[in-house]
C-alpha cells in the first residue's frame, strides 16, 4: 500500500507540475510549502500550550492561597509600571580578558559573575527578591520574556511558603501533590531556558541569570517544596547538569573563561543539595576520568589532543574539588561521604595516570592528585 501511495503521489506531481519547473524543483517547492504550514501549526500549538500552563499556574496558586493571589492582583499594575520605569540593573560587568572579540556585547549579559557571590547569601534568606510581592504577570510577549512566566510562578510559591511560615498567610501545600504536572512543567521550562541562555550568552536581560538561579536554589533548598520538586523533576535536573557540563567542555570562544565561571558557579550551587550533589560528582568524575585516559593515550602515542578541552577540563576539576570539600565538611554532620561506583573506576588506574602525565602536564596531574586526596579523605580521617 505504501509503495502504491508513493507511486500515485509521484504521478500526481509529474502531471501537475508547471512546464517551467523540473520534477525535482516542483517537489522541493511542495515540500517547503507543507513544512511552512506545519511550522505555523506548531507555533500555534506552542502558544496554546503556554497559555494552558499559565492558567494552570494561576489556578494552582489560587488553590494554595487565594488571599495571596487577590492581594497580588490588586497591586500588579502599579508594580509593573515601577518595573518598566526603574528596571533592575547590576553594576558588575565582565572584566576585560585582553582579547578582542567580534561582538563587544556578546558577553554583556553575563556581567553577573561577581553577583553570584551575592546569590550564595540569597539561598537561605532570598532577601533581594522575596521581600516584596512581585506582580502575578504570567503572560509573555516575546521569546526572552517567555522565561519570566515559570520564574514568577516559582517565586510566588516561595513567597507564599515564606509568608505562611511566618504566620502571615494560611496556605495548603497539599495541592502541589495533586497538581504535580504544573510545577514540573514550570521547573522544566526554567531549566530549558537557562540551558538556552548558557548556549547563547547574548541574552537581552542581564539580571535574568542571577534571579533564575536564585529561584532554583531556593526551591531545592526549601524543606517544604524541595520534596515535591526533586521527586518529579530529578531527571530534568540531571539533564540540565549534563548539558552545562557539555557546554563547559565544548566552549571554544576566545573570551570564554568568565562565562565558564558563571556556569561552574551554578553547578556548585546546585551541588549544595545532597541528592543533586552525589549525582553531579558522579558525572564530573566520569568526564575527568575519560579525559585523563584519552590524554594519557594521546601522550603515549605522541598524538594530538584537544587543547580547548584541556583548558576547559580545569573548570570541571575545580567544581569537583569544591563539591568534594563540601562533602567532606558535611560528612561529620549528616551527609554520607560520596562512595559511588564511579569513584572506584576513577581511582583504579589514577596513580599510573598521574605518574605518566606529571612531567608533561603537571597542573592537570596536580588537580587529579587533589581529587584523589579528597575522595580518600574519609579513610584518612
Tens of pLDDT, residues 104-124:
333 343 444 444 444 444 444
Mean pLDDT of 215-233: 85
Whole-angstrom CA distances from 175 to 59, 143, 180, 224, 264 are 10, 30, 8, 13, 35
The band of 70, judged by pLDDT with boundaries at 50, 70 and 90, is low
Mean pLDDT of 274-284: 91
Nearest-5° angle of CA 229, CA 193, CA 246? 90
Q: List, for residues 228-254, the tens digit of each pLDDT value.
A: 888 888 999 999 999 999 999 998 888
d(CA 10, CA 347): 61
pLDDT at 90: 36
Decide if pLDDT at 260 tops 80: yes
pLDDT at 290: 95
Decide if pLDDT at 139 tops 90: no
| Among 348, 368, 346, CA closest to 357 | 368
Q: List, for residues 10-62, the tens digit of each pLDDT value.
A: 999 888 989 888 888 889 888 888 887 777 787 888 888 888 988 998 898 88
Domain boundaries defined on the chain: 49-61+143-252, 273-330+337-380
Range of weakest confidence among 61-65, 71-75, 104-108, 190-194: 104-108
pTM of structure: 0.72
pLDDT at 333: 52
Amino acid at each position: 500500500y505504501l509503495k502504491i501511495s508513493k507511486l500515485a503521489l509521484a504521478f500526481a506531481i509529474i502531471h501537475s507540475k508547471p512546464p517551467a519547473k523540473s520534477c525535482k524543483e516542483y517537489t522541493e517547492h511542495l515540500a517547503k510549502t507543507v513544512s511552512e504550514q506545519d511550522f505555523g501549526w506548531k507555533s500555534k500549538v506552542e502558544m496554546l500550550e503556554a497559555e494552558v500552563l499559565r492558567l494552570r499556574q494561576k489556578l494552582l496558586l489560587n488553590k494554595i492561597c487565594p488571599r495571596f493571589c487577590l492581594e497580588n492582583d490588586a497591586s500588579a499594575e502599579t508594580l509593573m509600571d515601577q518595573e518598566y520605569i526603574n528596571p533592575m540593573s547590576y553594576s558588575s560587568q565582565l572584566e576585560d580578558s585582553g582579547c578582542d572579540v567580534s561582538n563587544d556585547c556578546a558577553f554583556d549579559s553575563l556581567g553577573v559573575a561577581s553577583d553570584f557571590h551575592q546569590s550564595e547569601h540569597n539561598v537561605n534568606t532570598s532577601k533581594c527578591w522575596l521581600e516584596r510581592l512581585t506582580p502575578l504577570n504570567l503572560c509573555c510577549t516575546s521569546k526572552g520574556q517567555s522565561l519570566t512566566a515559570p520564574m514568577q510562578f516559582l517565586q510566588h510559591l516561595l513567597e507564599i511558603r515564606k509568608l505562611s511560615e511566618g504566620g502571615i498567610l494560611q496556605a495548603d501545600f497539599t495541592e502541589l501533590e495533586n497538581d504535580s504536572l504544573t510545577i514540573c512543567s514550570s521547573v522544566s521550562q526554567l531549566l530549558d531556558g537557562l540551558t538556552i541562555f548558557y548556549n547563547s550568552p547574548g541574552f537581552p536581560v542581564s539580571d535574568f541569570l542571577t534571579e533564575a538561579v536564585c529561584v532554583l536554589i531556593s526551591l531545592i533548598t526549601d524543606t517544604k517544596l524541595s520534596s515535591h520538586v526533586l521527586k518529579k523533576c530529578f531527571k530534568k535536573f540531571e539533564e540540565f547538569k549534563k548539558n552545562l557540563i557539555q557546554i563547559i567542555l565544548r566552549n571554544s570562544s576566545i573570551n570564554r573563561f568568565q562565562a565558564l565561571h558563571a556556569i561552574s558557579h551554578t553547578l556548585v550551587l546546585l551541588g549544595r543539595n545532597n541528592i543533586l550533589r552525589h549525582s553531579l560528582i558522579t558525572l564530573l568524575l566520569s568526564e575527568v576520568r575519560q579525559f585523563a585516559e584519552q590524554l594519557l593515550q594521546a601522550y603515549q602515542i605522541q598524538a594530538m589532543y584537544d587543547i580547548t578541552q584541556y583548558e576547559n577540563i580545569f573548570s570541571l576539576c575545580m567544581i569537583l574539588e569544591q563539591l568534594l570539600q563540601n562533602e567532606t565538611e558535611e560528612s561529620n554532620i549528616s551527609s554520607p561521604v560520596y562512595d559511588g561506583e564511579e569513584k572506584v573506576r576513577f581511582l583504579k588506574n589514577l596513580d599510573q595516570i598521574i605518574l605518566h602525565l606529571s612531567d608533561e602536564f603537571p597542573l592537570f596531574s596536580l588537580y587529579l592528585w587533589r581529587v584523589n586526596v579528597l575522595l580518600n579523605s574519609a579513610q584518612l580521617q
